[in-house]
């Protein structure tokens, strides 16, 4: 690897020393470091560039994200480079490395002792206009508190479900451990290719989620035109009038992570243990 990009959560100003050490560790391996502009400002350096330029103009081989899962999700909305996540967040489902192990794990990466773990992403089109791909989920919900909406979900043109609820979650297998899990949804093996369609606080409590093939075309529409919001991976919000047709399909370009552990359930076990402590 010749060029490694680095980005960090802007909330980690109090951990500047640790972040600076991570950058120094990469430089000591003789690798060129590309710093995102906001990261450069955080550590007191001039320069820096956007994630888009780091990938397209500078051709970075790898992006090191420092922070929590939100930092990874934000990065993936701006570039498609393989990611090595350093966990400085609370959960860390998507992060492979703990800060104290970074030097050792970086050497494993440079020695080629890793594999690429690809995770499905889904694409949202609103009235035919394509938005950014998402790794976890899109949540469509009422723009007003405690106001339910009426949704219709169709699969390849066939009406699959019709319900009243606070909203609906369209999630990937990776995203099944996020908001959908908190809403009572099933955990889906991240190696499977599919979409989870999850009513959010349905009026009829017996309403259950559906898991459909990734190659399907899923459409969501509101029966009555009422204001809603579409939230993409918890990073971007889009206001909706309620008249739009939302179409979900395979994003085709998966998210790529550098991994050392081949069993995805070990990561889940570690995270769930930390949550329950």
Beta strands (DSSP E) in the chain are 3-8, 32-35, 62-67, 83-87, 115-119, 122-126, 129-130, 137-142, 149-155, 158-171, 194-202, 210-213, 218-222, 228-232, 236-240, 245-250, 255-259
Please enumerate, as own/partner, the contacts of 238-243 that have beta carbons within 8 Å and a separation of 24 or more: 238/126, 238/131, 239/143, 240/126, 240/140, 240/143, 242/149
The number of beta carbons lying within 10 Å of the beta carbon of residue 132 is 15
Concerning whether 69 is annotated as a catalytic residue, the answer is: yes
Check 14, 53, 61, 69 and give the catalytic one: 69
Residues noted as catalytic: 69
């Amino acid at each position: 690897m010749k060029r490694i990009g680095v980005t960090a959560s802007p909330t980690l100003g109090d951990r500047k020393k640790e972040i600076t050490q991570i950058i120094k560790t990469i430089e000591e391996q003789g690798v060129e470091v590309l710093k995102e502009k906001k990261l450069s400002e955080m550590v007191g350096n001039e320069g820096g560039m956007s994630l888009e330029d780091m990938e397209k103009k500078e051709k970075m081989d790898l992006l090191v994200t420092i922070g929590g899962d939100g930092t990874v999700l934000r990065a993936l909305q701006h570039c498609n480079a393989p990611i090595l996540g350093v966990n400085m967040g609370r959960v860390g489902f998507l992060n492979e490395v703990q800060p104290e192990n970074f030097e050792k794990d970086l050497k494993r990466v440079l020695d080629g002792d890793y594999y690429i773990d690809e995770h499905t992403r889904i694409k949202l089109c609103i009235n035919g206009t394509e938005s950014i791909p998402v790794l976890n989920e899109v949540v469509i919900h009422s723009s007003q508190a405690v106001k339910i909406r009426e949704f219709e979900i169709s699969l390849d043109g066939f009406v699959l479900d019709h319900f009243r609820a606070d909203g609906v979650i369209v999630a990937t297998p990776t995203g099944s451990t996020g908001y959908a899990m908190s809403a009572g949804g099933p955990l889906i093996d991240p190696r499977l290719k599919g979409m989870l369609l999850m009513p959010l606080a349905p009026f009829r409590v017996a309403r259950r989620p559906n898991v459909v093939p990734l190659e399907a075309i899923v459409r969501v529409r509101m029966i009555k035109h009422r204001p809603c919001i579409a939230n993409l991976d918890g990073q971007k919000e889009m206001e909706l009038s309620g008249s739009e047709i939302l179409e979900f399909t395979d994003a085709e370009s998966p998210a790529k992570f550098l991994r050392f552990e081949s069993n995805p359930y070990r990561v889940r076990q570690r995270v769930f243990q930390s949550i329950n402590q």
